[in-house]
């Protein structure tokens, strides 16, 4: 794009921004659709989210309705996924379980994001002793095996869905803090950040309006992957009796309740909730990996 020879003459720039923006979004969609694994992951997520939303309308039975007359039935026409030891319909429970799992994942990731991102950003932006203290605290959190730590936190708050969400959320904080820390460290050296400082823009404005938007892509990837982790950990907590209380349908709790029946041959009690956990986590992980590939500037720079 060459400028005209005389100064002070504005130059018409081709491509109005709306169109360029639209094209950018289109390339993003196309790149996503070209990545087959990401599409598979996205479809798992969409299906589970949809099922979770419409569970009350599509479930053939109430998830907590006991019917001792028809307990431990293998999958049949009336109970597609069979029934458990109280005669509850496993299909209905799996569908209702999706609501809890996805909801738990969302809340837990939101907790991790809302605490981890500001901590990492502040630690990197101000640096010094404050930054060291914050990041060493994150290292301490990270040093514990995540399941052990979430168990400890959940147990200390008291078993229940809310405490499981909080526990999983806290365990996820250091990942986001470290990610944001690294992003901020590199972004704060950019000239446009220096320009804002030269203008006298307040630090919180710089952090939220300049650094955060530019750090969003990797955070999005991490949040997607974190959903899978959160669902798994929350299910594990429920399996261990630290999550939701019976008789609420939750995948981890269902596996826990059904595990004694594996040996006696009632495989459907653990298989279907297990598949629910597996496919939803797989979905989030595949989508997260796909997003990482698409949003990675090194892979896109060639375009």
Contact residues: another protein, CB under 8 A: 1-3, 7-13, 15-17, 20, 190-192, 194-202, 205, 210, 213-214
CB of 268 to another protein, least distance (A): 51
Looking at beta carbons only, is 20 or 114 nearer to another protein?
Answer: 20
Q: Any residues with CB less than 8 A from the CB of 91 and at least 6 apart, and which?
A: 59, 60, 61, 79, 80, 81, 272
Q: Are 211 and 184 in contact (CB under 8 A)?
A: yes
CB of 77 to another protein, least distance (A): 56
Ramachandran assignment for 128, one of left (phi > 0), alpha (psi -120 to 50 degrees), beta (any other)? left
CB of 94 to another protein, least distance (A): 42
Nearest-angstrom CA–CA distance, 163 and 152: 11
Looking at beta carbons only, is 197 or 245 nearer to another protein?
Answer: 197
CB of 227 to another protein, least distance (A): 25
Looking at beta carbons only, is 265 or 297 nearer to another protein?
Answer: 297
CB of 20 to another protein, least distance (A): 6
CB of 129 to another protein, least distance (A): 12
Looking at beta carbons only, is 2 or 156 nearer to another protein?
Answer: 2
Q: Any residues with CB less than 8 A from the CB of 156 and at least 6 apart, and which?
A: none
Looking at beta carbons only, is 16 or 145 nearer to another protein?
Answer: 16
Looking at beta carbons only, is 208 or 275 nearer to another protein?
Answer: 208
CB of 224 to another protein, least distance (A): 21
Looking at beta carbons only, is 77 or 199 nearer to another protein?
Answer: 199
User: What is the DSSP track for the chain?
Assistant: -PPPSSTT-----SS-HHHHHHHHHHHHHHHHHH-HHHHHHHHHHHHHHHHHHHHHHH-SS-TT---GGGTTPPS-SSSTT-B-TT--BHHHHHHHHHHHHHHHHHHHHHHHHHHHHHHHHHHHHH-HHHHHHHHHHHHHHHHS-HHHHHHHHHHHH-SSHHHHHHHHHHHHHHHHHHHHHHHHHHHTTSHHHHHHHHHT--HHHIIIIIIHHHTHHHHHHHHHHHHHHHHHHHHHHHHTTSSSPTTS--HHHHHHHHGGGTTTT-THHHHHHHHHHHHHHHHHHHHHHHHHHHH-HHHHTT-
CB of 131 to another protein, least distance (A): 16
Looking at beta carbons only, is 53 or 205 nearer to another protein?
Answer: 205
């Amino acid at each position: 794009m060459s400028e005209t020879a005389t100064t002070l003459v504005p130059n018409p720039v081709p491509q109005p921004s709306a169109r360029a923006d639209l094209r950018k979004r289109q390339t993003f969609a196309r790149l996503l659709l070209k990545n087959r694994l990401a599409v598979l992951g996205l479809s798992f997520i969409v299906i589970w989210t949809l099922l979770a939303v419409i569970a009350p309308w599509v479930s053939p039975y109430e998830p907590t309705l006991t019917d001792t007359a028809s307990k431990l039935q293998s999958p049949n026409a009336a109970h597609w996924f069979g029934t458990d030891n109280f005669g509850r319909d496993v299909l209905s429970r799996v569908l209702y379980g999706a609501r809890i799992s996805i909801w738990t994942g969302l809340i837990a990731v939101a907790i991790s994001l809302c605490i981890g991102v500001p901590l990492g950003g502040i630690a990197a932006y101000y640096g010094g002793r404050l930054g060291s203290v914050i990041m060493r605290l994150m290292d301490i959190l990270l040093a514990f095996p995540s399941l052990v730590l979430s168990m400890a936190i959940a147990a200390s708050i008291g078993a229940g869905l809310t405490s499981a969400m909080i526990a999983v959320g806290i365990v996820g904080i250091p990942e986001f803090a470290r990610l944001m820390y690294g992003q901020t460290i590199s972004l704060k050296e950019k000239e446009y950040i220096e320009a804002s400082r030269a203008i006298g823009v307040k630090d919180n404005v710089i952090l939220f309006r300049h650094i955060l938007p530019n750090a969003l892509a990797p955070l999005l990837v991490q949040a997607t992957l974190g959903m899978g982790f959160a669902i798994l950990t929350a299910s594990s907590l429920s399996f261990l009796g630290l999550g939701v209380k019976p008789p609420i349908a939750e995948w981890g709790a269902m596996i826990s309740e059904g595990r004694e029946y594996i040996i006696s041959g009632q495989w459907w009690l653990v298989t279907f909730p297990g598949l629910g956990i597996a496919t939803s986590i797989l979905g989030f992980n595949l989508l997260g990996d796909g997003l990482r590939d698409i949003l990675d500037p090194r892979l896109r720079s060639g375009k």
